[in-house]
Structure formats: C-alpha cells, structure tokens
Amino acid sequence: MRLYDLRVTVERIEGRSVCGLEIGDYFEVTESSRVRIPEGRHFCLFAMQAVLPLLPAKMRRLPDLRGSAAALS
C-alpha cells in the first residue's frame, strides 16, 4: 500500500489565533511519519493535535464505493 505525503495548511482562522498561526502556515507529513515545519516557522501543537487523527485516512487511497453493494448498505 502506498502512503501519500501530506501538507496541512491553515486556510482560515475563526476567532483569534492564540498560537500565533497565520493563514498559509503549514506542516508536512512525509514518509508516513516525518513531520516537517518550514525552517524559521512554528506550528501550534494544539492545532496539530486537532488534525492528527484525520491524517491516516488522507494518506491512503480510499476505495471508490460508488455503485457497489457496499455503498448501498
């Protein structure tokens, strides 16, 4: 199974950014487990924690269930 590299980017901030994040800030997950933050930048640990549980599903190619019996149940 091939895992995809991901870039997680801040697209919007609702309310005040208490961590100092700005729109466009990002971190990358490469080689299935390496987290990279651009040199000289930071990424809020609490913001990262909020999205980490979602990343494994995004790293895999999901089967297309449209039109299959599994999609109907």
Please name which of 1, 11, 2, 3 lies closest in space to residue 51, comparing C-alpha atoms. 11
C-alpha to C-alpha distance for 11 and 49, rounded to whole angstroms:
17
pTM for the whole structure = 0.74
- 19, 26, 50, 59, 66 from 1: Cα distances, Å: 36, 26, 26, 10, 21
Query: pLDDT truncated to tens, each residue of the chain (73 aa)?
Result: 678 899 999 999 998 888 899 999 999 999 888 999 999 999 999 999 999 998 988 888 767 777 665 554 5
